Chain A
């Protein structure tokens, strides 16, 4: 029998901290690529709490779920980076404030 001596609350605090850092990156930074990386930080933060609850409840469903999250992240990154390349071809900039074509 394995025993995990790190309490659940520690993992959840770590997860919340990383999620907040990700939100801060999305809201504050204006570089498209860094905003995209902040989204990855948020996805990873969710994975930590999924697996922490899994560990706490002795289930495998949370690990399947984080497996799916990783799949979706891979798909999202490939499409998102293709969009960034297409945008950059039309307007050579990576500053989010320059892309306001769909605003209002």
Chain B
């Protein structure tokens, strides 16, 4: 039953991810990426990770993508600057490299996955992935990483302000 939900969602995500890299204009890429984030939130719900799904929608599809759109609009890209995806001289070489990389990774994963039996579904407690359980783990075992994350975000904020200032003196 869940497979019937999983396959359309996964196909949707992969199609929109391809849309991100094959779209000619950055705005189109950004909109595809928003769609992909929403699809991934659906997949996280399917994996019972409700808290992460909500975070995905709020932070990724909300904050980060708005920032992307904001910068795209701010830079005011002219039509001539929107290169097609095949505009580099060494692009053929890179494309072949990417192809090999893709085939290699997918083949290796395929090989490992179907030689080991990992498909016994775990039976989870009802509380799996709820805010209560995540919060308890976050504030007991992972307090130090949590505090370090706050310092990281503060540093990033200061760094962004300093970098985007008009005059560096």
Contact = CB atoms under 8 A, between A and B. Distances in A.
Interface in B1-28: 1-3, 6, 10, 13-14, 17-18, 20-21, 23, 26
A58 B122 CA distance: 7
Nearest to B106: A16
A65 to B, nearest CB: 9
A5 B46 CA distance: 10
Given A41-B36, A51-B47, A7 B123 contact: no
A2 B82 CA distance: 48
Contacts of B125: 1-2, 58
Interface residues of A, number: 75
B26 A31 contact: yes
Interface string A1-44: 11111111111111011111111110111110110111011001
Contacts, number: 252
Interface in A49-68: 51-52, 54-58, 60-61, 63-64, 66-68
B134 A6 contact: no
Contact of A41 (B3, B17, B30, B161): B17
A24 to B, nearest CB: 5
Contacts of B142: 64
B103 to A, nearest CB: 9
B114 to A, nearest CB: 7
Interface in B96-146: 97-98, 101-102, 105-106, 109-110, 113-114, 118-119, 121-126, 128-129, 133-134, 137-138, 141-142, 145
B128 A3 contact: no
Interface of B: 1-3, 6, 10, 13-14, 17-18, 20-21, 23, 26, 29-30, 33, 36-37, 40, 43-44, 46-49, 51-52, 55-56, 59-60, 63-64, 67-68, 71-72, 74-75, 77, 81-83, 85-88, 91, 94-95, 97-98, 101-102, 105-106, 109-110, 113-114, 118-119, 121-126, 128-129, 133-134, 137-138, 141-142, 145, 149, 152-153, 155-157, 159-161, 163-164, 166
Interface of A: 1-14, 16-25, 27-31, 33-34, 36-38, 40-41, 44, 47-48, 51-52, 54-58, 60-61, 63-64, 66-68, 70-79, 81-86, 88-89, 93-95, 97
8 contacts: A5-B121, A9-B113, A13-B113, A16-B105, A23-B101, A24-B21, A48-B40, A61-B141
